[in-house]
Amino acid sequence: MIFIERPETNPFFNIAAEEFVLKHFEEDVLMLWQSEPSVIVGKHQNTLNEVNLDFIRDNHIPVIRRISGGGTVFHDLGNLNYTLISTGSNRERLIDFHKFTEPVKAFLNTLGIHSEFEGKNNLSIQGKKFSGNSAHVFKKRVMHHGTILFNTKLDQLEKSSLPDKADIQDKAVQSIRATVGNIAEHLSDEYTISQFRSAFKNFLLDYFSITEIRSFSPSDHSGIHKLIDEKYKQWEWNYGYSPAYIFQNEVDGISVKLSVKNGIINGVEIDGELENKSLLKEKLVGTAHHPKMIVEVLKSVYPKRNSGLLLKLLAL
């Protein structure tokens, strides 16, 4: 096993780097990393049902879909992420959250903190969740990764993950809301996250008997940035990949029902007093359920009308 130093805090880089290492490295790999504020949704989730779009837009917080399942998490520099990528012979037994989280629990014990495994893949302290974990299998390799809340801004975590009020019906994986807490609350000594990260790293190097530490090569960086540009910065992945859903909304006596699959509107129902309703419905079919694309449709149907109200009706 090797340890890869990860000084980067760009969330797009950090999420793309995990997939790159999983699919392009042969060694077992351990990584610790931190990201600037971002919302990370699970692979099988409907992004619109997981985030507060107004809040993240106002605060310039990016939303990124990861390749592993599970629920939505909030990242900031007060959260430490822990990734372990390994190879096994039995694909059916590669995912083991108990085994993956054991080093976290063992390290916290050295700090006098008792933590417990809860549910399918969470760690908690005194009933408050501080770590959510997920996994992804690629061929005979598995990536386990998880959050470790140290001194995360919990108010931003809560506000960013409260979805908007439009009615969205789907069969996507839903996040399970839980009471969360920071590890720093349980430390008597003043501990910075940098000190915590350094101590955890040293513990893990010993725990896994790791002797090789390396950084990403220029070639690695090139491959990761290519993945960012082609996938992780694309609306089609972060929003459009969401499972099929029904979007319903009502504004000023006009109600709408949109059927959306692969991010594309394939069915439209509109009730209420609205001119050019048939033309609007016709042009919306085949359009991405994306505010920019819908604005273009509205401009073509209503060239002299302010599209703000109708945009609020049709998109979040």
Last residue of a domain, one of 238, 263, 298: 238
Please, which pLDDT band fits residue 163 given cuts at 50, 70 and 90? Answer: low
14 or 53: whose pLDDT is higher?
14
- Is there a contact between 148 and 82 (Cβ–Cβ < 8 Å)? yes
Average pLDDT over the chain reads 92
Q: 221, 238, 255: which is the final residue of a domain?
A: 238
Q: In this structure, what token pair is assigned to residue 150?
A: 């140290």
Average pLDDT over residues 270-297: 94
What proportion of the chain, given as a percentage, has pLDDT over 70?
95
163 and 288 together in one domain: no
Do 69 and 189 lie in a common domain? Answer: yes
Number of domains in the chain: 2
Q: Are residues 10 and 113 in the same domain?
A: yes
In CATH, what number is assigned to the domain containing residue 256?
3.30.390.50
| Residue 165 or residue 214, greater confidence | 214
Question: How confident is the model over 40-75, as pLDDT tens digits?
Answer: 999 999 998 889 988 999 999 999 999 999 999 999
pLDDT > 90: what percent of the chain? Answer: 79
Q: Classify the phi-psi angles of 263: left when phi > 0, otherwise alpha if psi is within -120 to 50, otherwise beta.
A: left
Helix, coil or strand: residue 18: helix
Task: State whether 231 and 257 are in the same domain.
Answer: no
Two tokens, residue 203: 């513990």
pLDDT tens digit sequence for 86-105: 998 776 678 999 999 999 99
Q: Looking at the predicted structure, is the pLDDT value of residue 162 above 80?
A: no
How many residues are present in the chain? 316
CATH number at residue 194: 3.30.930.10
**Domain of 96?**
2-238
Q: Where in the chain does DSSP place strands (E)? A: 2-4, 29-33, 38-41, 63-65, 73-75, 79-87, 116-118, 122-125, 128-138, 141-149, 167-170, 212-214, 245-251, 254-261, 264-271
Is 190 in the same domain as 285?
Answer: no
The DSSP 8-state label assigned to residue 52 in this structure reads -
Q: Are residues 200 and 64 in the same domain?
A: yes
Alpha-carbon distances, residue 125 vs 81, 139, 146 (angstroms)? 17, 35, 16
Q: Give the pLDDT of residue 216.
A: 98
Q: 163 and 279 in one domain?
A: no
168-227 pLDDT, tens digit each:
776 666 666 678 999 999 997 788 999 999 999 999 999 999 999 999 999 999 999 999
292 with 264, same domain: the answer is yes
Q: Are residues 67 and 167 in the same domain?
A: yes
Give the domain-ending residue among 212, 238, 264.
238
Q: What is the pLDDT of residue 169?
A: 74
Selection from 38, 31, 23, 37 nearest residue 7 by Cα = 31
Q: Does residue 304 share a domain with residue 217?
A: no
- Does 165 score more than 60 pLDDT? no
- pLDDT tens for each residue of 109-154: 999 999 999 988 999 999 999 999 999 999 999 999 999 999 999 9
Alpha helix stretches (DSSP H) within 6-114: 11-24, 53-58, 97-110
Q: Are 85 and 141 in contact (CB under 8 A)?
A: yes
Per DSSP, what are the bridge partners of residue 116?
124
Same domain for 32 and 148? yes
Looking at the structure, tell me whether residues 211 and 262 fall in a common domain: no
Using pLDDT thresholds of 50, 70 and 90, give the confidence band for residue 31.
Answer: very high
- pTM comes to 0.91
